[in-house]
Structure 1
Amino acid sequence: MAPLIPRMHLFEIDDQPWFPPALRTLFQAALTVTWTLPLPIIQSCPPAQVVARVLLKELGQDISDYNFVDFCAGAGGPTPFIENHINAHLRKRHAKAVNFTLTDLHPNVQHWESVAVASPNLFYESKSVDAIKAPRHLVKPADGKKSMRLFHLAFHHFDDCLARRILKDTVESSDGFAIFELQDRSIASFVAVTLLAIGTLILAPYYALKWRSPLALVFSWLIPILPAALAWDGYVSSLRTREPDEVEALLRSCGTDTSDWEMRSGSTVHLWPVGYVNWIVCRKTS
């Protein structure tokens, strides 16, 4: 069933050039915690683990045939956690490990360096990467593997025109893409965003200790810009997020042959009753 709320491409604070870099760093770090921090008792598993399980299930034994490129990686997001979970699973099966590469239009090299040293299968591209025209050395790797593009909490940022251009470049140069969102155009999603903002207030001391940044306390408790920005952007992200059939319509109208591309989608709970990972996995079948 189509959502009752129409898609609206409103502005998000984190997209704006005037948003201070220090606050953007805290904003992205808070989203990473949302992806990866397990909440005992009330949460079955963190969203990043859901993503890893979806990729393992949907790609099956073919997963070792792929290299994964994370577009719009920000501060790293869930990808290091996903890489660790997937490769730990593959090692148990005595299967080949898979590589993940972090990229972004505005690369966060300093932070990516710190997470990449923890795994021999996690890499990053230090130069700016535009998803409209991805560098061929990323999507056509020298090792001959297939390329799977990842969009974690990112695809809703693109308007229809930009999304079509990204999908066209994907079809012409890659072998698949996967979109993962933590929101949709539903009342439950708006409730989940509200809980995120409240959680940011409660967890501000944890953030300050984890990131060694007193600014997390200042901008959460004294001047509550961080929870307010997370709430606003979360609500707007919900309004921006496309349903699978809307993404497929963009794919089929992107201006290149997509007849041999197959799309699968689903919604997997991580925090009942309002927290869901909404996913789309699309790949070339020939």
Structure 2
Amino acid sequence: MAPAVPRMHVFEIADFPWFPGFLRGYVQAGLTAAWTTHVPFLQPSSPAQVVARLLATHLPDLHSYTFIDFCAGGGGPTPSIEQHLNQSLLPAAAAAQDQNHYPQQHKQKQQEQPRQKPVQFVLTDLHPHTDLWAQAAARSANLAYEREPVDAARVPRALLARHARGGKKVFRLFNLAFHHFDDGLARRILKDTLDGGGDGFGIFELQDRSIAGFVACCLFGLGVFVMAPYYALLWGSPLALLFTYVVPILPFVLVFDGWMSCLRTRTPDEVVALLRTCGAEGGEAEIQKWEVKSGREAFMWPVGSVHWIICVKR
């Protein structure tokens, strides 16, 4: 069903250049925590695990892709998505279900299947955070990053060719990012993808223009008050406690910007409309070469959901 609230391209506080950089870092870290935290008994899985599962489910030729995050920010959920996805592809993990349900066929199947190399991920952004990315890349041989700024609407073809060696295809990731683009920029990004800048893209959001989306943002704000001591200790920064409890800037910005993100988030139909009007070379004939899938998958009852769009060449 179409949302009752029309899309509004409103502002978010953390996007303004006057917002202190160290506070923006806390906001980004809080959003990353929202993607990667798995609370037992409350969540069957983290949002990052959901995205990894969606990619594995809807890309049957998963190993033919290199995944490039074009709005990585401080790293976001991509390092966690990479970890969960590649762990799920390990022979022991991938075959566990078969072994439990088909013990007689398991050994033969394991011998017949060739060992696949891990899937590779790359972090990029118009404003690179190379120090944070280097830390993430140091923890995984399957995660790389680009030091130079990368504009998602004008991706250098040399960059794509470098990460598409060996016949690989490029899949573009937009994690909690696509709602930031106005219609003009969103069309240019889609046009750049369709005109040879990629073989697929995925848009993953934690909010939408529904009552549940706004409630989820409020619950996230409450979660900040509960989890702040843990993350302040993890980050080694007592200032996070100051700006959570004494001067509650962080919970206010996270909730307010979350509401604004809800208003900015597009439905799958709205993304398809942009796709059809992006001015791609070949027009409608080119659009018909692409298949769009979408949906929502809950990660926390009753309001936490990943809203996803996956589009690939047929």
Both proteins in one fold, TM over 0.5: yes
Please name the residue that 2:190 is paired with. Answer: 167
Please name the residue that 1:240 is paired with. Answer: 264
Quote the offset at 1:144 in angstroms. Answer: 2.4
- Aligned: 1:254 with 2:278: yes
Which structure 2 residue ranges, 5 or more long, are not aligned?
95-114, 281-285
* Matched position secondary structure for 2:63: helix
Please name the residue that 1:38 is paired with. Answer: 38
TM-score computed with the length of structure 2 as normaliser:
0.89
* Deviation by residue 1:189-239 (Cα, 9 ceiling, x = unmatched): 111000111111121111110100111101101110001000111000001
Quote the offset at 1:43 in angstroms. Answer: 1.0
Please name the residue that 1:206 is paired with. Answer: 230
Please name the residue that 1:99 is paired with. Answer: 120
Tell me the amino acid that sits aligned with residue 70 of structure 2: F
Alignment length (residue pairs): 284
Contact 1:69 1:139 in 2 (8 A): no
- Aligned: 1:190 with 2:214: yes
Whole-angstrom CA distance in 2 between matches of 1:133 and 1:32: 26
Whole-angstrom CA distance in 2 between matches of 1:103 and 1:242: 23
RMSD (CA atoms): 1.0
Please name the residue that 2:110 is paired with. Answer: none
Please name the residue that 1:78 is paired with. Answer: 77
Task: Tell me which of 262, 269, 275 is aligned to 2:298.
Answer: 269
Quote the offset at 1:79 in angstroms. Answer: 0.6
Tell me the amino acid that sits aligned with residue 83 of structure 1: E
Whole-angstrom CA distance in 2 between matches of 1:283 and 1:229: 35
Whole-angstrom CA distance in 2 between matches of 1:138 and 1:39: 38
Whole-angstrom CA distance in 2 between matches of 1:49 and 1:127: 29
Please name the residue that 1:228 is paired with. Answer: 252
- Aligned: 1:89 with 2:112: no
Whole-angstrom CA distance in 2 between matches of 1:281 and 1:113: 28
Quote the offset at 1:171 in angstroms. Answer: 0.8
Whole-angstrom CA distance in 2 between matches of 1:259 and 1:58: 18
Quote the offset at 1:143 in angstroms. Answer: 2.8
Q: Which runs of 4+ in 1 moved over 6 A?
A: none
Quote the offset at 1:42 in angstroms. Answer: 1.1
* Matched position secondary structure for 1:143: helix
Whole-angstrom CA distance in 1 between matches of 2:160 and 2:246: 45
Tell me the amino acid that sits aligned with residue 64 of structure 1: H
Which structure 1 residue ranges, 5 or more long, are not aligned?
none
* Matched position secondary structure for 2:252: helix
Tell me the amino acid that sits aligned with residue 195 of structure 1: L
Whole-angstrom CA distance in 1 between matches of 2:30 and 2:159: 28
Please identify the structure whose Cα radius of gyration is greater: 2
Whole-angstrom CA distance in 2 between matches of 1:133 and 1:158: 14
Quote the offset at 1:98 in angstroms. Answer: 1.2
TM-score computed with the length of structure 1 as normaliser:
0.97
Whole-angstrom CA distance in 2 between matches of 1:123 and 1:84: 13
* Matched position secondary structure for 2:172: strand
Task: Report percent identity of matched pairs.
Answer: 57
What aligned pairs does 1:13-28 form with structure 2 within 5 A after superposition?
13-28=13-28
* Matched position secondary structure for 2:166: coil
